[in-house]
Every structure is written in structure tokens, then in C-alpha cells.
Amino acid sequence: MVLLKGFVKPEDQIGMVCMCQQLGKGPGGFYRPSFKNGAKPNLWMMSLGKERDPTLRSYGPTRPFDGAQAPTIPDAFKMIAQTANSTASEFPQINPDICIVNYYTNSGKLGLHQDKDESESSLTKGLPFISISIGDTAEFLFGDTRDQDQATKINLESVTFSYSVENQDSLFHGVSHVKTNTAPSWLKEETGMRPGRINLTFRQY
Ligand SMILES: O=C(O)CCC(=O)C(=O)O
Ligand SMILES: [Fe+2]
């Protein structure tokens, strides 16, 4: 995993938040998913490019509960993700066709999991996910097992990182909590963003 601290410039963070606010209110916008175990964490989700079904753990053109199509990934988003990808030069370059946008309220969290819903070919090639975090800082956990106590813990501020997912060796990761009132004040002033954190993961199916 590579962590590029402060990689996304403030004006780009502001632009991304405004675009997420706009897309989030439209068709295919933010909704509160339920997960396989029935959990409904304080998390809102929106899929761009392809629609991800977190219950079935698969992708499709539309989402089952309202038939909405996933909005297109804005070119500006792709450009930022691809620049991060080429900066982390140890990873192969991806052409993202999926972007999962998560909005965590201050009580939001995401249990340790592996991302394995992408195509066999993407997973066997070990293509990276490019992850961008904006807003309040999160405590991010990662490790080789689902055991939270053994996981490494890092703070993800408004930064970006990428991690490689490989078929047999896929990283467990999750968000234990979001730290209240840690977002940069200019972000709130410029966007009116509510307390919480936005995370975008760019993936190639
Ligand atoms: O919010 C994060 O940093 C992680 C998001 C994530 O793991 C996912 O959407 O699969
Ligand atoms: Fe994930």
C-alpha cells in the first residue's frame, strides 16, 4: 500500500465534494446500503460507472431497488485518480470504470473486508484500487486477517492512497471510526459539507 499524503490539492478536493453533492442528489445518487449480515452502518453510498450491489457482491448496469443507472465517472475524477496511480509507480496503471463513493457520518464505519467483486482478470493481475479521502479524518485498519486487533491502524486525512488487491493475498481493510471535527475548515466553508468523510475508490472491473 502506498500513501500519498496531501496528494489531492485543496481546489480539487473542493471540486470533488461539490460534484459528489450534485451527483448524490440526482438519479443513482447516495443511498444507505444494507450489507450481507443485515448491518446498516452509518454510511451512504453511490456507485459511478457501474452499479455495485453490496448485498450480492456484484456489479450491474442498474440498481435493483429503484432501477437507477450509475452516473458516469466525471473526467476530472478519473484524471486525479490516474495521476495518483502513475505517481505510485510500483503499481500497474488502471483505466478506472468504477468509482465507489462512500459518505460516512461521524458515527460511520466499515467492517474489515476484502474487495473481491471485480473481474477475475482484474484481481489476478493485482490491479490497484486508488482511494481518495476527503473531509474528516478516519482511522483506517488493514491487515492479512479479519482480526481487528491484529490490524495496522493509520489515520486517513484528506489524502489518497492506493493498494493492490491480489487474488489469494487480498488485503483486509476497513474504517473503525471517523474523527469528529477534523476536516480542514476551508473545506466546510467552501462546500458547506456536512460533518463526516467522503471516500472514493477507483477500480477497473
Ligand atoms: O472508506 C474507506 O477508506 C474504505 C472504503 C472501502 O473499503 C470500500 O468501499 O470498499
Ligand atoms: Fe474496500
Any domain includes 205: no
Any domain includes 57: yes
Closest alpha carbon to 199 in 68, 81, 26, 90: 81
Any domain includes 204: no
The residue nearest atom 4 of ligand 1, judged by CA position, is: 174
For residues 179, 160, 20 and 58, what is the CA-based torsion angle, rounded to 10 degrees?
A: -100
113: CATH = 2.60.120.590
Which residues lie at CB < 5 A from ion ligand 2? 115
Q: Is the pTM of this model over 0.90?
A: yes
Ligand 1 pocket test target in 131, 134, 159, 163 with most atoms within 8 Å of CB: 131
Confidence (pLDDT) at 18:
98
d(CA 29, CA 167): 30
- Whether residue 196 contacts residue 134, with contact meaning beta carbons closer than 8 Å, is answered with no
- Whether residue 98 contacts residue 204, with contact meaning beta carbons closer than 8 Å, is answered with yes
Q: How far is CA 94 from CA 47, 63, 79, 123, 162, in A?
A: 18, 25, 11, 12, 11
ipTM, interface predicted TM-score of the complex: 0.99
Q: For residue 126, what are the domain limits?
A: 2-198
Summarize the confidence of residues 68-97 as an average pLDDT.
94
Does 131 contact ligand 1 (Cβ within 6 A)? yes
d(CA 123, CA 120): 5
The values of phi and psi at residue 101, to 5°, are: -105, 120
Any domain includes 203: no
In the beta sheet, which residues pair with residue 141?
A: 153, 174
User: What does the pLDDT look like over 26-74, one tens digit per residue?
Assistant: 999 999 988 777 777 789 999 999 999 888 889 998 998 999 999 999 9
Residues of the chain with pLDDT > 90, as a percent, come to 65
Closest alpha carbon to 197 in 119, 71, 122, 104: 104
The residue nearest atom 6 of ligand 1, judged by CA position, is: 174
Any domain includes 101: yes
Cell of 140: 483506517
The number of distinct structural domains making up the chain is 1
How many angstroms separate the alpha carbon of residue 100 from the centre of ligand 2? 9
Any domain includes 67: yes
